[in-house]
A and B are shown apart, each in its own frame.
Chain A
């Protein structure tokens, strides 16, 4: 009987040799997770940055007394196929899309400058949003974005921001808006099913400095991604630097640096 066991042991040990790897394992690359989450959050942030800088440019345009200069500024920042119309307590910007569909942005300014009274901005062009801008006692402005749609996600954001506007060129009306903001953004993607949403929550750990000329110049964000479909939860910190311009992504304690060639 002992011989049987010995023979069996020999045969069983040969199974290890007979088994073979016919396809190598893929590389384990946690950086891809950080990059994927960052690229999604970055797209959301870019959209929100544009919303805020548009408001600042719009306010600045309204301050220009010279009609021709104002029209020029409007054309530069809001496009050639755009019309401005004064209506009620504010303005309507009508822009024609590439498919000749009108896209409306309503600026309800209550006849006061940004930072001096409450503004409401409503965008109706597919990815609709409504943003209420309320001046704060410390001079900053609170942007409460109650209905926000970005690509396949919907959610809300509350951001408190201050801004600087640098006139770069009086002839061409080029200007740079520099924002400094903090707060949180929460966007829910339900494309995997109503009951299995994917939520991306972004909150500022250090106030974010953003320039519409240079992109992100400083600050730190924490991006949390919760996927109910796959039952996963990932957290990525993004810290911005300006010289040289880069973003450091921290995922599970490991830092991955992403240099920006043309701004972040």
Chain B
């Protein structure tokens, strides 16, 4: 019930912000979205010079209203805690009485190293104002471990757990330069914990306290944040 209320709240905030932002876009002139650099160019150059200026060089952020980012992250404590909720169901039964067949099977198999990919993210942002962009962010993290034969090393069984989240994301840009942009963002949504026999859904928050992107059409970014997206994030994005 609490999840439903949370989801409704997220949907409400998302729709409200979108409507407000859309109204701004329709009422504002395009010239309002031109960066400080572009304004400087306008004042210092003649109209002829301006017409010769390549739009790619002069308007890095205005020309591209959409962006798509692919990234990875170092997990924070909360994400590690969520990852540790993974339980190896079969191994948990070892304490119970086991017959010879099971004892022999345990002796002839070993657990390989438990490998974890804590957080990969895919983020779509649509710029509705110079300082605000809205979008959808999805993250996925998983870990896996396999049971292998002690001699042949063949995989007998693989245990996996996945944490996936989908969030409505608001990004607030507070510094604009030609190649550099700095921002903060907040995401609200839900996270699914998927594991055979033990899956659940929970509300989730993600925040990037400080983020920096470097580049124009294709750019790299790095963020410091908290939540399901990890603490230190980095990746690449493309504006279109």
Tell me the count of chain B residues lying within 8 A, CB to CB, of chain A: 37
Q: Does B100 contact A (CB under 8 A)?
A: yes
Which residues 94-139 of B sit at the A interface, judged by CB distance below 8 A? 99-105, 107-108, 110-120
Contact of B72 among A14, A29, A230 (CB under 8 A): A14
CB atoms of A23 and B236 under 8 A apart: no
CB atoms of A18 and B107 under 8 A apart: no
Give the bracket for the number of chain A residues in contact with chain B.
Answer: 35 or more
Q: Which residues of A contact B114 (CB under 8 A)?
A: 21-23
Contact of A230 among B70, B105, B112, B119 (CB under 8 A): B105
Contact of A29 among B74, B104, B150 (CB under 8 A): B150
Chain B facing A: main interface SS: strand
Q: Which residues of B contact A28 (CB under 8 A)?
A: 110, 150-151, 153
Summed over the interface, the residue pairs from A and B with CB atoms below 8 Å come to a total of 105
Q: Which residues of B contact A3 (CB under 8 A)?
A: 218
Q: Which residues of A contact B238 (CB under 8 A)?
A: 4
Rounded to whole Å, the gap between the CB of A223 and the closest CB of chain B is 12
Please report the C-alpha to C-alpha distance between residue A19 and residue B137 in the assembled complex, in whole angstroms. Answer: 21
Q: Does B73 contact A (CB under 8 A)?
A: yes
Q: Does B71 contact A (CB under 8 A)?
A: yes
- Taken residue by residue from 216 to 243, chain A's Cβ proximity to chain B (1 for < 8 Å, 0 otherwise) reads as 0000000001010110101000000000
- Taken residue by residue from 2 to 22, chain A's Cβ proximity to chain B (1 for < 8 Å, 0 otherwise) reads as 011001101100110011111
Q: Which residues of A contact B176 (CB under 8 A)?
A: none
Please report the C-alpha to C-alpha distance between residue A230 and residue B147 in the assembled complex, in whole angstroms. Answer: 13
Q: Does A182 contact B (CB under 8 A)?
A: no
CB atoms of A11 and B101 under 8 A apart: no
Please report the C-alpha to C-alpha distance between residue A27 and residue B73 in the assembled complex, in whole angstroms. Answer: 31
Interface positions of B (Cβ within 8 A of A): 70-74, 83, 99-105, 107-108, 110-120, 143, 145, 150-151, 153, 218, 220, 234-236, 238
Give the 6 A-B residue pairs with the shortest CB-CB distance, closest first: A23-B114, A7-B236, A26-B110, A32-B107, A25-B113, A36-B107
